[in-house]
Amino acid sequence: MTFSSRQFYYLAWIAAIAFCTSCQRHLAITKNEYKQYGIDAEAGEDSSIVKYYLPYKEKMQAEMSKVIGQTDQELTKPAIPETLMGNYFADAMLTEGLKKDRTIQFTLSTKGGLRTTFPKGDITVSNVFELMPFENEMVTLKLSGEKVQQVIDFIAKKDGEPISGMRMKIRNGIAYDVTIAGQPFDITKTYNLLTYDYLADGGDELECLRKPIERKEINKKVREALLDNINDLTRQGKKITAQLDGRIVIVKE
């Protein structure tokens, strides 16, 4: 919901009265009245309020419009089982996660969690916020082989999800030839997955990620990891790139 400056002023005034009133002692509510005020385009602007917040708005817009990197092609989402956007996102998470925890073996996201694409050319801070508008925190999960098998089954059921450090083939909705960190998947082993808290809490039908053997907080938001990754690439004179590399292959009969 967007408030006009006049409505903002009115709400601030009400809040100030409430604050001052709360400082008094021995007061009791003796009467309660309710009146609904419409918030629409007919409400005008209060120039004094606009003048107050405008410098902050301009500063924020300047920061969000800052170019932090470049792509040589659009990073798109529509293809399955892999997408350029999904592969970049998962790879960037793995790269940045390994800086915090060298035991991480693979990463998992979901297509629905990536809210936009990257255009060809300049990439701004705003592009990253649009891609990951949520305050998701990265977490590592130590999973049993049985739990990882459920993750594999989930990916196969969805005809692929953004992953890194893992490869597989899918036929008739069943995954096979699965490797993790370059080694064949072994259901008797445990594995370290990097994902984010929403999925780790069972979001997007990933109830299998709940109650892992161990859960560790990375203390870094996914968005911060993406910004760091892009800034590192730019400092190295590199562009933001991705390719469809066959990490997930759907085999037709």
Separation CA 78–CA 112 (nearest Å): 11
Give the pLDDT score at 79.
77
Separation CA 213–CA 200 (nearest Å): 12
Q: Tell me the pLDDT tens digit for each residue of 160-215.
A: 999 999 999 999 999 999 999 999 999 999 999 999 999 999 999 999 999 999 99
* Domain residue ranges of the chain, discontinuous segments joined by +: 5-64, 67-250
Provide the 8-state DSSP code for 113.
Answer: G
Give the pLDDT score at 25.
60
Domain 67-250 in this protein, CATH class: alpha beta
DSSP 109-177: --GGG----BPSEEEEHHHHHHH--S-PEEEEEEEEHHHHHHHHHHHHHTT---EESEEEEEETTEEEE
Q: Tell me the pLDDT tens digit for each residue of 140-154.
A: 999 999 999 999 999
Write the Ramachandran bin of 33: left for phi over 0, alpha for psi from -120 to 50, otherwise beta. beta
Residue found under tokens 């759907």: 250
What is the SS3 assignment for 22? helix
Place 101 in a pLDDT band, splitting at 50, 70 and 90: very high
Place 44 in a pLDDT band, splitting at 50, 70 and 90: low
